[in-house]
Amino acid sequence: MGKSADKQRPKSRDRVSVRRGSGARVRSIAPWRYWAMVAALFSLAVLALSHVAGLQVLPDVHRGFEFLQNQGNNRTLRTVDIPAYRGVITDRRGEPLAVSTPVVSICANPQLLELDADKLAMLARRLKLRVGDLKQRIERYRNKEFMYLARQLTPPQAEAVLDLDIVGIFKREEYKRYYPAGEVAAQLVGFTGIDDRGQEGMELAFDDWLYGATGSKRVLKDRKGRVIKELQLIDSEKPGSNLALSIDLRLQYIAYRELKAAMKQFRAKSGSVVVLDVQTGEVLAMVNQPSFNPNDRSRLKAGSTRNRALTDLLEPGSVMKPLTMVAALESGQFHPSTVIDTSPGYLRVGRKTFLDHRNYGKLDMSGILAKSSQVGTTKIAMKLDPADIRGVFDRVGLGQSPGTGFPGESAGLLPSKRRWRDVETATLAFGYGMAATPLQLASAYAVLANNGIKKQVSLLKVSAAEGVPPGLEEQVIDQEIVASVRQMMKAVIDKEGTGTRAAINTYEVAGKTGTSHKVGAGGYEEDRYVGLFAGMAPADKPRLVTVVVIDDPRGKDYYGGLVAAPVFSKVTAEALRLMSVPPLKVPEPKLVEGAVLKRGGDS
């Protein structure tokens, strides 16, 4: 039966027999089908290779695959900023006031973070955060691809975090601002924010100058966000330019020390000191209290960042009397030897009565300044056109912006009226009904110190070679009149004057005390004052002008001659010594009790 079946099946050479394990023939395949299958498999291999080549090697040939290639690049290639080094701020002698130091910020991609309970606890510990707070922050940014975990860490602190090798955490290099002078120059220099941009003071005023330009580069990152290769520099960073301020840090320290001591002694609310170079108009020192530490702003109090010497207005009171004397001499009605009868020690103008401490009788112009006589000043003012008094104030820069470029600097307040009441004329003559900053007062006194020449005030160092640029100085008061008024102001420091505590042992001083009432909700307050002293030294050839303001002293002493004049004396004396200004008078010998002065000066 089997043989007959075999005989009936036709034999063919075009078939391939396929046997199974038992050796029984199951079926046969035609050769052309076999080779067609081999060809198909080979074609699939070639197609796969061409696909890979299209994705990685030949993108121009297979443009249809560029999308996938771009998607891959988007997950690995990044353009990162290169932070620019912020310019250094220095004092006039090159001492650093603000410098930048490299720091590291820890960043994360919340979508890639892989944190179990143990890793979360370790990360929180090294970031010095509570686990719960860190977890909440991460959850809040869960749908984002970037967040900061910590800003501006030192390199060792950052490495301690990165050593945890957590997927999705990476670093960003930045710069942090550091202020070597601390609170001594805080309100003037200002500070930057966490993004290294200026927020206060000169840091804000000259932010574009100091900041420079950020660069950029293309890098390759791994799945953990770490940079594994820098591929291309796109733009180079451009460091910021340096800035030299006009202040001398040595004088700044001296002024700050003396002001802080006075604030403590007299329990004052606030205070300011400004030291001005008469020859150049440069501010050599500008300090304020209360102050703050710009390197640690965690306990920053409201108002402490304010540069009161440039922003806070006050009614200067009697320190304006020398300028009223200028108006009197310019009128031709008065001369330095003119005598004014101040008896009986008070004078009524309208509904206002002006009082002296006692009946000074007849006083010449110098005596009126020395005693700070309200009656004498009022009698002079009554004979003058109020516009003439205001005109002198305006010419020396009061009621105008100082033009330093400092953010928030005040222009002050100088009234302008068509009709003046007598009481308004009198009060203006001794510094009420107007307002000025300590810097404006220093600038006005600098005109008296500089023989009537007004110069532009500068918070930046003025080049000795270039000097004051043309057009920034102007003769606004006659030189002879200024010399006469300076001579009158010397009497304020003499034994019979109100400013004896402003005297300097080896230099003659010219100046004026001031004590003004503070303004409250219901008008002038009887028991709250501002004590001031404004002066210059050496008196006959001034080099420095110093203004001291002690705001709201709460002790028994509040007069400007008691609270502000001693600060002037100490600060100005040290400043003149550091500037090598030669003494212009011989100090009086101090005798020890019981000693005998012998001939020849030995004792």
Residues recognised as catalytic: 318
Burial class (CB in 10 A: 0-12, 13-18, 19+), 546: buried
Q: What is the biggest distance separating any 2 CA atoms in the chain, rounded to whole angstroms? A: 166
- Distances in Å between the Cα of 471 and the Cα atoms of 229, 275, 393, 406, 456 are 57, 23, 20, 21, 9
Q: CA-CA-CA-CA torsion for 29, 32, 38, 44, nearest 10 degrees?
A: -120
Q: What is d(CA 249, CA 185) in angstroms, rounded to the nearest whole number?
A: 8
Tokens at residue 315, please? 């009614």
Is the Cβ–Cβ distance between 399 and 389 less than 8 Å?
no
Is the Cβ–Cβ distance between 507 and 356 less than 8 Å?
no
Tally the residues of the chain. Answer: 603
b/e map 215-251, b = 16+ CB within 10 Å: bebebebeebbeeeeeeeeeeebeebeebbbbbbbbb
Q: Which residue is associated with the tokens 């112009």?
A: 365
Q: What is d(CA 105, CA 184) in angstroms, rounded to the nearest whole number?
A: 29
Tokens at residue 95, please? 């001492």
